[in-house]
């Protein structure tokens, strides 16, 4: 009886093992990107900094028009040491979003153009551009508190100190930096307005060499040192040379060109930035 049971199990195993399941062909996605023009809805995410390797936060998002759903593979050329690619599956037709992740390390600052090419699909292409900015070494910084909240504007921070106008359009010592938060466009620009270079010392917005401060918020509105209740802003330059500017800053800024009712108290301002 036991041998009969073994024979039955063996026959079932062999018969099932000999049957061949029909293979279902894989249908690749069919979609269009354009015909060499700008990629539809192209949005870059993350900051692209020269000599700094890209991370998963460095992406480019595009919109494609899918006519047949299925797996896809999209990639770009390599420019300035970086490239973008993505594999995935479009599960429906019509306008769909694809997010390509960047790899590599930007070699230099400046704008580079990229050509997106589908490895599946009809073979059309589109273009977008990425701008790499100059990084700031760890020994440099530009930070402060906005109404008690820590802010870091060390991205691309630098200073100028001469009779040539700086970022603000004023000569003297001019310090500027971008918000380090990804995709933020906020920035600050401050310094001491003077006919020539500025030395160490304490300056206010009432001094003959006038201290000034400008903040561009996320809504595109400019905040300046208060036009009333002066002195409203103070800058102490503790060290300045051909290569570096260091010091502290604090005061009150207001929107609407320094006349608005809303105000921001800036405290604990610290800067140590390269002079260019």
What letter does residue 38 receive in the DSSP assignment?
E
Confidence of residue 80 (pLDDT cuts 50, 70, 90): very high
Q: Given this model, what pLDDT does residue 152 score?
A: 92
Q: Could you tell me which of 135, 151, 161, 212 has the C-alpha nearest to residue 187?
A: 151
Which of 29-38, 131-140, 248-257 has the weakest average pLDDT? 131-140
Quote the tokens at residue 13: 């195993």
Select the more confidently predicted residue: 93 or 122: 93
The mean pLDDT of 241-251, rounded to a whole number, is 94
> In this predicted structure, what is the pLDDT of residue 11?
44
- pLDDT at res. 136: 62
- pLDDT at res. 1: 40
Between 25 and 199, name the one with better pLDDT. Answer: 199
- Alpha-carbon span 59 to 98, nearest angstrom: 10
Helical H segments across 99-230, by residue range: none
Q: What is the pLDDT of residues 146-183, one digit of tens each?
A: 999 999 999 989 999 999 988 888 999 999 999 988 78
| CB distance 58 to 105 below 8 Å | no
- Domain residues of the chain, as ranges? 30-132, 141-274
Within 8 A by CB and 6+ apart from 9, the residues are: none
Q: Which helix (H) or strand (E) holds 62?
A: strand 59-68
Peptide bond into 11 cis (omega under 30): no
- pLDDT the model gives residue 17: 47
Question: Which CATH number describes the domain made up of 30-132?
Answer: 2.60.40
What is the rounded CA–CA span in Å between residue 275 and residue 244? 5
Q: What is the mean pLDDT of the chain?
A: 84
The pLDDT value recorded for residue 119 is 75
Q: Which of 25-34, 50-59, 109-118, 237-246 has the lowest mean pLDDT?
A: 25-34
Highest mean pLDDT among 14-18, 123-127, 171-175, 220-224: 171-175
At residue 132, the pLDDT reads: 87
Query: Does position 216 have pLDDT exceeding 90, yes or no?
Result: yes
Give per-residue pLDDT as tens, 110-128: 889 999 888 766 667 889 9
According to DSSP H, which parts of 131-181 are helical?
none
pTM as predicted: 0.53
């Amino acid at each position: 009886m036991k041998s009969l049971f073994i024979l039955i199990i063996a026959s079932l195993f062999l018969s099932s093992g000999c049957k061949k399941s029909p293979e279902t062909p894989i249908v690749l996605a069919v979609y269009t990107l354009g015909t060499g023009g700008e990629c539809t809805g192209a949005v870059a995410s993350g900051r692209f900094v020269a000599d700094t390797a890209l991370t998963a936060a460095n992406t480019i998002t595009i919109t494609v028009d899918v006519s047949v759903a299925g797996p896809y593979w999209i990639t770009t050329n390599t420019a300035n040491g970086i490239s973008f690619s993505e594999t995935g599956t479009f599960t429906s037709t019509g306008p769909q979003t694809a997010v390509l992740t960047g790899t590599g390390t930007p070699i230099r600052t400046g704008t580079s153009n990229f050509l997106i090419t589908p490895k599946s699909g009809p073979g059309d292409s589109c273009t977008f551009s990425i701008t790499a900015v100059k990084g700031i070494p760890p020994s440099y910084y530009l930070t402060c508190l906005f109404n008690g909240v820590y802010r870091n504007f060390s991205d691309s921070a630098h200073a100028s100190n001469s009779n040539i106008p700086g970022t603000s359009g004023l000569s003297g010592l001019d310090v500027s930096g971008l918000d380090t938060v990804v995709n933020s466009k906020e920035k600050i620009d401050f310094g001491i307005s003077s006919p020539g270079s500025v030395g160490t010392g304490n300056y206010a917005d009432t001094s003959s060499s006038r201290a000034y401060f400008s903040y561009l918020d996320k809504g595109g509105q400019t905040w300046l040192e208060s036009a009333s209740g002066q002195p409203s802003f103070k800058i102490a330059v503790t060290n300045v040379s051909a290569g570096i500017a260091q010091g502290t800053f604090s005061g009150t800024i207001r929107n609407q060109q320094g006349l608005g009712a809303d105000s921001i108290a800036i405290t604990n301002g610290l800067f140590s930035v390269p002079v260019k």
